[in-house]
Amino acid sequence: MMHVKALIHLIFCDLGADPGDRVEVDEPIAQIETDKVTIDVSSPEAGVIEQLVAKVGDTVEPGTKIAVISKSGGVTHVAPSEDKPSKEASEPCPAKAKKVETKKPKAETPPSKEKPTAPSLPPPKPSAKEPQLPPKERERRVPMTRLRKRVATRLKDSQNTFAMLTTFNEVDMTSLMKLRSDYKDAFFKKHGVKLGLMSGFVKAAVSALQNQPIVNAVIDGDDIIYRDYIDISIAVGTPKGLVVPVIRNADRMNFAEIEKGINILAKKANDGSLSIDEMAGGSFTISNGGVYGSLLSTPIINPPQSAILGMHSIVSRPMVVSGEVVPRPMMYIALTYDHRLIDGREAVFFLRRIKDVVEDPRRLLLDV
């Protein structure tokens, strides 16, 4: 369920219908963009759109009237709802009739008719935060989406707040890839979901967080908050920007439950149906840049967490095994951590545990 407090500022960002169009019950007619998700506003009644009250780019609040739909026997005002969503709704904020006045942008306020008592001053120069570059040929200016602004702000705040340091290691993927190859058919037949590599890394991260609980903690003022739960955030890149849905209580889940959870969240991320609650919280993040071909990177911490694990592409490289040079599928892994809280020793031990579990998944069974 979406928290109402998170819906204080919404941007009316897109129109799915025009005046005169016929709409049916629960048919999306507009979109509202928040800091984290894009929400469909559905028609509460069947009828004809009589008027679109809000304009694209307007900042509205829950309950603000954005459209008027005429039907037999009356008129319905369509607005973003503060009520609980129905189970059949594709987004967490279905439409509901509300009689609330729309806030018009300040730019539409008519100018004062009073005569100026002093010569008019020149317009203020743009601030450093909002540079206005001169237009050039073959360039186009597009406003940043609210999601992109939020991502930019959070990443910059992370950089300004945390004493970030990154440590690296490399993992031989032979055992985990063989495990997947040997059991993928039986796994799919029993659980109805494919066995991937991400579930192995989630289980390895859970084991490492249990061994090094400080990595799962966070600084709050002069205190350290230790979390007795493990909620793993999975960074997902979408056409509209980076989102980080959360797998709750990953320490209580098996491989199949993790794979199902990842698939559901990834699907919602790609079609834009993630709710705010599905992205709230999280005690540790995993970012897999390897799916895009990244060989090595230094991931940035996702506030208010204290560390993030970066996975990278698998590359066959010559490795020395038992005195012989043999090709092995290798992956670089990186841990960026808040050095104010986590010492290098804990960070290295954490990555070492990831490496040990991925290279020999039997450790999870024996808890060694």
Active site residues: 339, 343
The DSSP result for 38-70, as a single string, is EEEEE-SS-EEEEEE-S-TT-EE-TT---EEEE
Q: Which one, of 227, 218, 365, 230, lies nearest residue 305 by Cα?
A: 218
Closest to 243 in 3D by CA, of 268, 214, 208: 268
CA angle 78, 82, 85 (to 5 degrees): 90
Specify the pairing of strand 246-247 against strand 232-238. antiparallel
Cα(19)–Cα(283) distance, integer angstroms: 46
Beta carbons of 38 and 243 less than 8 angstroms apart = no
Strand partners, 324: 321
Please name every residue paired with 338 in a beta bridge, in sequence order, or none if there are none. 164
Q: Is the peptide bond before 304 cis (omega within 30 degrees of 0)?
A: yes
DSSP 300: -
Helix (H), strand (E) at residue 246: strand 246-247
How far from each other are the two terminal CA atoms of the chain, in whole angstroms?
39
DSSP secondary structure of 71-137: ETTEEEEEEE--SPPPTT-SSS--EEE---PPPPPGGGSPPP-SPPSSPPPPPPPPPTTS--PPP-T
Give the span between the Cα atoms of 270 and 273, in whole angstroms.
8
**From CA 273, how far away is CA 264, in angstroms rounded?**
11
